[in-house]
Structure 1
Amino acid sequence: MRIPFVIKRAAAAIGAGIMLMSFASCGKAEIHELNVEHNTKVPPKMMFLGDSIAAGYGLEGYKKGDNYHCQSYSNILKEKYERELEGECGHTMVNMAVSGYTSADLIAQIQSGELDGELKDSDAVVISIGGNDLLGIMFGLIDSLGIEDIRSFDIKDIDFASAAAAFISMGSDADKAIEQFSVNMDTITSELKKRTEGVIFVQTLYDPVAYYDQFSMLTEFAAQKILKLNNVISEKSAGGYKVIDVAADFTGRAGELTNIKKMDIHPNAAGHEVIAEDVDRSFRAVGFTYITTEKVKDEPSYGGRVALLCGIACGVLLIIIFIAFLVKRKKN
C-alpha cells in the first residue's frame, strides 16, 4: 500500500514541529537564586572596641563586663539603627571595649582570636583608644605635685622648682608613651585588616584637663601631649582607617560634656550624645551595603523565543495540511 504524498508531507511537518517544540522547551523561563546588593547609610552590623570611653564607664546602668545597659554612644546608635533598618536588613551591635585598656591591651585582645568571629562580618569597627596610654601619666603628675584635689588646691602652694622637674620627667614619659602608641596603632590596624572587611574608624582623644584652667602649667602640658597623640591618630589613618574627630567637638566643653568636675575624665550622658552624633555623621559619609538572596525568573533567550514561534507556526501549518487532505478525500 502506497502512502499518499500529502501524508508524507504531514508526517514531515509533524516531525519538524516536534523538533522545533523541543528546542523551544529549552528556552523556557527558569527560577534561580541571585545575590542582590543593597545600599544603606548606616552599618547593618557595627562593633566597638577599646577603652572605658567606648564601654560607657561612669554612666547610669554601666557595670564592668556589661556594656549594653547604659546610654553610651554605642547603645544610643544601636537603638537608632534598629529603628532605621527595621524591615530591611535589621541591625546588630557588638561592644567588646574594656575599661582600663591601653593600645597594647587592645592588640593582645585582637591577636587572641576571641574577636575573630564578630569581626569577620562587621560592617563598621569603631575604636576608642589612647586615653589610658597618656592620661594616667598626667594624673600621676598631679599626684607627684602633692595635689590631693585639683578642684580646691591653691596655686601658691605649688613648689615651682619641684613642679618644673616633675614636668620634665613626666614629659619624657609622655613622649615615650606616644611613640609606643604610634607603633601600636600600626599593629592594631594591620591586625584588624586581616580579620575584617568592614570600615575601621578611630576616635580622637578629647582633652578633659582643659577644665582646670587655673593651673595653666598643667593644662598647657596636657594640651600639647594630647595634640601630639591625636596627630598620630590622624597620620596613621593612611594605613586604612577613618578618623572620627571627637576632640574637636569637646574643645572648650570639658566641664559640660565630661565628669571632670568630679575628677573623672569620662564623658557624661551629654558627652555620649555628642560622640554618637560624631560617629553617626562619619558612618553616613561612608555608606554601607548588605546582600540579600532573591529568587529571579529568567526570561527565554532570543533563540528560544524564535524556536517557540516556529513551533507554533508549524503546528498551524500541520492543521491546515490535514484539513486540506480531509477535504480532498471527501471530494474523491
Structure 2
Amino acid sequence: MRIPVLVKKAAAAVGAAVMMMSFSACSKTEIHEISVEHKTEVPPKMMFLGDSIAAGYGLDGYKKDDNYNCPSYSNILKNKYTSELEGECGHTMVNEAVSGYTSSDLITQIQSGELDSELKDADAVVVSIGGNDLLGILFKLIDSLGIDDINNFDVKDIDFAGAAVALLGMGSEADKALEQFTVNIDIISSELKSRTDGTLFVQTLYDPVEYFDRLSVITEFTAQNIEKLNNIISEKSANGYKVIDVAPRFKGRADELTNITKMDIHPNAAGHEIIAEEVDKAFRATGFSYYTIEKVKDEPGYGSRIAVLCSIIAAALIVIIGIVLIVRQKLKK
C-alpha cells in the first residue's frame, strides 16, 4: 500500500525543520570575554620592605623620605623591568623600606594597615631586615675598645681585657636579639601572607665587618652572629618565603662592595648592583603571571555537534513512528 500524500508532507516538514535546527545550531557564533593568563619571568609589580639596605641609604640621590632617586637595587630593577615589560603589562615598583628599622619596627608598619593597598596586588615582596637588630651591638663593642679611628689605630693601645669583659655582656645581648628575631621573622611572614598573594622573599645579611681583620675579637664575634641570623632566615623560610642569599656574594669583598672603610656598613653602588643581580636571579627562578581580558568567538564545539546529532536522530524517529502509526490505521480500514 502506498503512503498517503499527507504523511509524505508531514515527514518532509519535520525533516526540513530538523535540517534548519541543525544548520542554526552549527552556524551560531557567540562573542564573549575571557581572562587570559600570560607568563613572565619578572614581576609586573614588586614591593620592597625593611631597613636602610633596601632604602638605599648612603647612595647618591638618597633622601630620608625618597627611596626612588638613588642607584639602589630596587631602582636598578625598576628601570630594567620597566623596559623589559614595556608593551606588555607594564611595571610598578613600590619601596616602603625605612632606614633604621628593626624587625619589630617592620611588624608595626605591616600591622598598621598602611601597606595593605599596595600589598594586595603585589606580585613579589622583598624584605631586607635583621641588620639593625644585631649590628648596633657590634658598634658598642668597637666603642668599648676605645678606637676613635678604625682605619688608624695602634693595636698596642687597645684594652683587650676590658673588651673581653664587654664582649661577654654583648654576647648575651646578641643572643637575646637573635631570639627575638626568630619570633619576629615568623610574624612578618604570617602578616605579609595574610595581606598578599604575591611571592615573599627575604634577603640574607652580608658581613661588612670582616674588613677589620686586625681585630679578630670583633670579626669573630660579628661573623658568628651574622651566621646565626642567616641560619634563622633560611630555617624559617619553610613558613612561606623564598631566601635571596646575597651574603656569599659579599664574602671577602667588604671594602669593595660596602662603605665600611668610612665606618658605614651599607652597600655602595657596586654592592647594590650585586644585590640586584641576586634578586633578579630569584625572580626569574620563580616566574610570574599577569592576566588580560580578551574577546573570543565561541564556535560550537564537539559537544554542540553531538547535541545537534541527537536532536536529528530523535526527530527522525518521531517521523518514522508517526508514519508507521498512520499506515497501520490505514490498513485497519
Where on the TM-score scale, by shorter chain, does this alignment land: which range? 0.7 to 0.9
Query: Which moved further from structure 2: 71-80 or 144-153?
Result: 144-153
Determine the C-alpha separation between the residues in 2 that align with 1:140 and 1:124.
Answer: 36
What's the TM-score once normalised by structure 1's chain length? 0.87
Q: 1:235-274 residue pairs with structure 2 within 5 A?
A: 235-274=235-274
Cα shift at 1:201 = 0.6
* Structure 2 unaligned spans of 5+: 313-333
Secondary structure of 1:71's match? coil
Alpha-carbon RMSD = 2.2
State the distance in 1 between where 2:17 and 2:115 align: 62
Aligned counterparts of 2:22 and 2:227: Cα–Cα separation in 1:
74
Q: What is the 5 A alignment of 1:87-126?
A: 87-126=87-126
Partner Cα separation in structure 1 for residue 259 and residue 191 of structure 2: 33
| Cα displacement string for residues 256-303 of structure 1 (whole angstroms, at most 9, x for unaligned residues) | 000111111110000000000000011111111111211121111447
8 Å Cα contact 1:24-1:305 kept in structure 2: no
Q: AA paired with 1:205?
A: L
The 3-state SS of whatever aligns with 1:39 is strand
Identify if the C-alpha distance between structure 1 residues 164 and 29 changes in structure 2 by more than 3 Å, giving closer, same or farther: same
Deviation at 1:120, TM superposition (A): 1.2
1:25 aligned onto 2:24: yes
How far does residue 17 in structure 1 lie from its aligned partner after superposition?
2.2
Once residues 301 and 16 of structure 1 are traced to their aligned partners in structure 2, the CA distance between those partners, rounded to angstroms, is 23
1:13 aligns with 2:9: no
Residue type at the aligned position of 1:25: S
- Structure 2 distance, partners of 1:21, 1:85, is 50
Give, in angstroms, the shift of residue 9 of structure 1. 4.3
- Output the CA distance in 2 between the equivalents of 1:113 and 1:72: 26
Q: Deviations over 1:56-84 (max 9, x none)?
A: 01111111111111110001001111111
Q: Which residue of 1 aligns with 2:327?
A: none
Q: Contact 2:44–2:91 at 8 Å: present in 1 too?
A: yes
User: SS state of the match for residue 35, structure 1?
Assistant: strand
Q: Which amino acid aligns with 1:287?
A: G
Aligned partners of 1:208 and 1:254 also within 8 Å: yes
2:144/2:162 contact within 8 Å kept: no
Moved more, 29-38 or 168-177: 29-38
Is 2:175 the counterpart of 1:175?
Answer: yes
Cα shift at 1:25: 2.7
Q: How far, CA to CA, are the matches of 2:137 and 2:163 in structure 1?
A: 14
Which amino acid in 2 is paired with 1:157? Answer: D
Pick closer, same or farther for the CA change 1:8–1:233 going to 2, 3 Å: same
Q: Distance in 2 between matches of 1:300 and 1:128?
A: 53
SS in 1 for 2:194: helix
Moved over 6 A (4+): none
SS in structure 1 of the partner of residue 213 of structure 2: coil
Aligned partner of residue 190 in structure 1, secondary structure: helix
CA contact (8 A) 2:40 2:289 kept: yes
Contact residue 23 and residue 304 of structure 1 kept, 8 A: no
Q: Give TM-score, length-normalised by structure 2.
A: 0.87
Moved more, 21-30 or 88-97: 21-30
Q: Which runs of 5+ in 1 are unaligned?
A: 312-332
Distance in 1, Cα, partners of 2:130 & 2:303: 65
Q: What is the alpha-carbon distance in structure 1 between the residues aligned to residue 255 and residue 201 of structure 2?
A: 26
Instruction: Return the offset for 1:14.
Output: 4.2
Q: Offset at 1:180?
A: 0.4
